[in-house]
C-alpha cells in the first residue's frame, strides 16, 4: 500500500462550515487538507437564501437573541451553546466582511437587517438579497483554493475513518474512479452537512444524506437528537424538478401571507417554523389539497432576485400569482454529538455545521441561526483541532458494507413514518430499513415518547416535562438514551 498522505488537519466538506474552518486552521499555521466529494453548487450552504442571524441592531443584544433561540428550541436547547452563538456571531460576521463578503446595506450605508419568524428583532443579514449562501461560499472557496497551506482534494468522498490508539487518525478517500487512498491527520473535522435528503420531499441537495453521521457512528462516535428534523413550511409544491424549492422565510418577514383553500389566513406567518409547518400540515390534511398558497404580491420581488428567477422558470409571477407551497424536510437539528469546541466523543474527531449537534437548536432551529453556527463553531473547532497531538500514521481501513446512498424506498419510508406527525406503528417500520442511519433515526423517534417542536407523536401528543433540557444519544447497537445538556 502507498504511504498515506499526511496533513495536520483534515476537513471533510466544503460548505460554509468546512471552508471557514479550513481557512482558520491554515491561518494558525496548520497544513490543511480540504476534502469534498461534490462541486460547490451542491452544498446546502450554496443554496442558503435567508441569511445570517446576529444581534447587531442598537436595540438588540446577545441576551435577546439567546432568549428567542431558546424559546424556539422548545426547552430542548443547550443554554451554553446558545450563549456562545449569540455572543460570537457579530464578530464572525465582521470576519466575513474582512474576507471580502459584501452584505446588503440600507440607504444609510449600514447593514440592512431583516426580520424572520421567531426573531423579536431585525437581525438577519443578507448578501445579494436571497443569494447569501452563494456569495459566502464563492468568497471562501476562492480564498481556500489559493491558500498556500490548504490542499483541496476533490472530487473525493471520505468513506471510512481510521483510528489509532483510540483516536481518529485518518480517512479513507475514494475517487469517482480508481483506487482509494489514505490520509492521516492530527485531527479530523467533519463538515459534511445534514440529513434532510433522506426524506422524500426536501429542500436540500440530493447529497445531504448524513454521510458524516454514518462515518462518525461507524467509527464509534455518539450521535444526538436524530428525531429532530425541521420541516420548512414553504417549499414550492410542483410536479417536476423545482418541487421542494424553498421560498425563504424572509418574504414573510416582508409581509407575504399564507392562505387556505378559501383564500383566508390561518396562521401567524412569523411564528417559529415548527408552528407554521404544523398549521399547514393540518390545513392540508383537512382540505385534501396538496398545497396552501403563499401570497407575496405585496412584497418587493426585486429584493429576492433568485426567487424571482426560479419562479419565472416554472411560469409563476409572484407579483400576480399565488404560489403553491407545502412543508418539506429542511434542517437536521441533531447530528454528531459535540462539545462547544466541536469535539465528538471520539478523540481527534470534530464535527461542525449541520452534521454536528452542539445542542444549539434543541427541538426547533431558529431561522438563520445555522450559517452563524457554521462560522462560530467552525472557528472554535479549527482552533482546538490545531492543538491536537501528532499521530504516527493511519492505515487505509475497510469501508463499511453499507449503501452510500439511500434508496427511494428509504426516502419514502422516512417521509411517511418520520414526517410531520409520527406514531409507534410507522416508526417501527423504519427499524427494518437497510440504511443504517434511517434505523437510528427511527429508534430515536421511537424513544422520545412525547411531542416537542419538530417531533410530533400522534400517540404521545403532550410534552413530557421530565425530558426538558435532555437530548437523545444514539451509538453502536445500544438503545437510545437520554442525557441532560451540560
Ligand X SMILES: Cc1cc2nc3c(=O)[nH]c(=O)nc-3n(C[C@H](O)[C@H](O)[C@H](O)COP(=O)(O)OP(=O)(O)OC[C@H]3O[C@@H](n4cnc5c(N)ncnc54)[C@H](O)[C@@H]3O)c2cc1C
Q: Which long-range contacts (CB under 8 A, 24 or more apart) does 54-57 make?
A: 54/89, 54/90, 54/92, 54/93, 54/123, 54/125, 54/372, 55/86, 55/89, 55/90, 55/121, 55/123, 56/90, 56/93, 56/111, 56/113, 56/123, 56/125, 57/113, 57/121, 57/122, 57/123
- Angle separating helix axes 79-98 and 62-72, nearest 10 degrees: 120
Q: Does 37 bind ligand X (CB under 6 A)?
A: yes
Residue 192 or 338: which CB sits closer to ligand X? 192
Q: What x/- string results for residues 308 through 347 when contact with ligand X is judged by CB under 6 A?
A: -----------------------x----------------
Q: What x/- string results for residues 7 through 26 when contact with ligand X is judged by CB under 6 A?
A: -----xxxxxxx--------
Residue 17 or 446: which CB sits closer to ligand X? 17
Cβ neighbours of residue 232 closer than 8 Å, sequence gap 6 or more:
203, 246, 273, 277, 327, 328, 329, 330, 331
Q: Does 216 bind ligand X (CB under 6 A)?
A: no
Q: CB–CB of 351/216 below 8 Å?
A: yes
Residues with active-site annotation = 273
> What are the DSSP E strand ranges found in 248-351?
257-259, 292-295, 323-332, 335-337, 349-351
Q: Does 376 bind ligand X (CB under 6 A)?
A: no
Residue 205 or 426: which CB sits closer to ligand X? 205
Pick the binder of ligand X from 89, 234, 364, 370 (CB under 6 A).
370
Pick the binder of ligand X from 163, 204, 338, 456 (CB under 6 A).
204
Instruction: Encode burial over 189-210: b for 16+ CB neighbours within 10 A, e otherwise.
Output: bbbbbbbbbbbbbbbbbebbbb
**Site residue total, ligand X (CB under 6 A):** 43
Q: Does 244 bind ligand X (CB under 6 A)?
A: no
Q: Which stretch binds ligand X (CB under 6 A): 205-213, 270-278, 303-311, 430-438?
A: 205-213
Q: Which stretch binds ligand X (CB under 6 A): 6-14, 104-112, 463-471, 473-481?
A: 6-14
- Rounded to 5 degrees, what angle do the CA atoms 130, 191, 43 make? 35
Pick the binder of ligand X from 163, 192, 195, 386 (CB under 6 A).
192
Q: CB–CB of 386/341 below 8 Å?
A: no
Least Cβ distance, residue 302 to ligand X (angstroms): 18
Q: What x/- string results for residues 93 through 132 when contact with ligand X is judged by CB under 6 A?
A: ---------------------------------------x
Closest Cα to residue 349, out of 26, 84, 10, 34?
10
Q: Does 141 bind ligand X (CB under 6 A)?
A: no
Q: Does 193 bind ligand X (CB under 6 A)?
A: yes
Q: CB–CB of 226/355 below 8 Å?
A: no
Pairing of strands 150-153, 32-35: parallel
Pick the binder of ligand X from 49, 163, 195, 472 (CB under 6 A).
49
Least Cβ distance, residue 304 to ligand X (angstroms): 12
Residue 131 or 467: which CB sits closer to ligand X? 131
Cβ neighbours of residue 3 closer than 8 Å, sequence gap 6 or more:
none
Least Cβ distance, residue 180 to ligand X (angstroms): 12
Pairing of strands 156-164, 257-259: unpaired
Least Cβ distance, residue 68 to ligand X (angstroms): 14
* Binding residues for ligand X (CB under 6 A): 12-18, 35-38, 43-45, 47-52, 132-133, 157-158, 191-193, 203-204, 207-208, 211-212, 246, 331, 353-355, 368-371, 374
Amino acid at each position: 500500500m502507498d504511504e498515506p498522505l499526511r496533513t495536520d488537519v483534515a476537513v471533510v466538506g466544503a460548505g460554509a462550515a468546512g471552508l471557514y474552518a479550513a481557512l482558520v486552521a491554515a491561518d494558525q499555521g496548520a497544513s490543511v487538507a480540504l476534502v469534498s466529494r461534490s462541486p460547490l453548487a451542491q452544498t446546502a450552504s450554496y443554496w442558503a437564501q435567508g441569511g445570517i442571524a446576529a444581534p447587531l441592531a442598537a436595540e438588540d443584544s446577545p441576551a435577546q437573541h439567546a432568549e428567542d433561540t431558546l424559546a424556539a428550541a422548545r426547552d430542548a436547547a443547550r443554554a451554553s451553546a446558545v450563549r456562545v452563538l449569540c455572543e460570537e456571531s457579530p464578530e464572525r460576521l465582521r470576519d466575513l466582511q474582512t474576507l471580502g463578503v459584501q452584505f446588503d446595506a440600507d440607504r444609510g450605508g449600514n447593514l440592512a437587517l431583516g426580520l424572520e419568524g421567531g426573531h423579536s428583532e431585525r437581525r438577519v443579514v443578507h448578501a445579494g438579497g436571497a443569494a447569501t449562501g452563494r456569495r459566502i461560499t464563492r468568497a471562501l472557496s476562492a480564498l481556500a483554493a489559493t491558500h498556500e497551506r490548504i490542499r483541496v482534494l476533490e472530487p473525493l468522498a471520505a468513506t471510512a475513518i481510521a483510528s489509532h490508539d483510540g483516536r481518529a487518525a485518518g480517512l479513507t478517500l475514494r475517487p469517482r474512479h480508481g483506487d482509494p487512498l489514505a490520509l492521516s491527520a492530527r485531527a479530523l473535522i467533519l463538515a459534511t452537512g445534514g440529513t434532510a435528503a433522506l426524506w422524500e420531499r426536501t429542500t436540500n441537495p440530493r447529497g445531504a444524506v448524513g454521510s458524516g453521521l454514518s462515518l462518525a457512528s461507524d467509527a464509534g462516535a455518539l450521535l444526538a437528537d436524530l428525531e429532530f428534523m425541521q420541516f420548512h413550511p414553504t417549499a414550492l409544491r410542483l410536479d417536476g424538478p423545482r418541487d421542494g424549492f424553498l421560498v425563504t422565510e424572509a418574504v414573510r418577514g416582508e409581509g407575504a401571507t399564507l392562505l387556505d383553500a378559501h383564500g383566508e389566513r390561518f396562521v401567524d406567518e412569523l411564528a417559529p417554523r415548527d408552528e407554521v409547518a404544523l398549521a399547514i400540515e393540518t390545513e392540508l390534511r383537512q382540505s385534501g389539497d396538496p398545497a396552501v398558497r403563499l401570497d407575496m404580491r405585496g412584497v418587493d420581488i426585486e429584493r429576492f432576485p433568485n426567487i424571482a428567477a426560479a419562479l419565472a422558470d416554472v411560469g409563476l409571477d409572484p407579483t400576480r400569482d399565488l404560489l403553491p407551497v407545502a412543508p418539506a424536510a429542511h434542517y437536521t437539528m441533531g447530528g454528531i454529538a459535540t462539545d462547544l469546541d466541536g469535539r465528538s466523543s471520539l478523540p481527534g474527531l470534530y464535527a461542525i455545521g449541520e452534521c454536528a449537534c452542539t445542542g444549539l437548536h434543541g427541538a426547533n432551529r431558529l431561522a438563520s441561526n445555522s450559517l452563524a453556527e457554521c462560522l462560530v463553531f467552525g472557528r472554535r473547532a479549527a482552533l482546538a483541532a490545531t492543538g491536537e497531538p501528532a499521530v504516527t500514521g493511519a492505515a487505509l481501513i475497510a469501508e463499511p458494507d453499507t449503501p452510500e446512498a439511500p434508496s427511494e424506498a428509504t426516502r419514502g419510508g422516512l417521509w411517511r413514518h418520520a414526517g410531520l406527525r409520527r406514531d409507534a406503528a410507522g416508526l417501527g417500520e423504519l427499524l427494518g430499513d437497510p440504511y443504517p442511519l434511517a434505523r437510528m433515526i427511527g429508534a430515536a423517534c421511537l424513544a422520545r415518547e412525547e411531542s416537542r417542536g419538530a417531533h410530533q407523536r400522534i400517540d404521545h401528543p403532550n410534552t413530557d416535562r421530565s425530558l426538558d433540557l435532555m437530548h437523545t444519544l444514539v451509538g453502536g447497537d445500544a438503545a437510545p438514551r437520554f442525557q441532560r445538556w451540560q
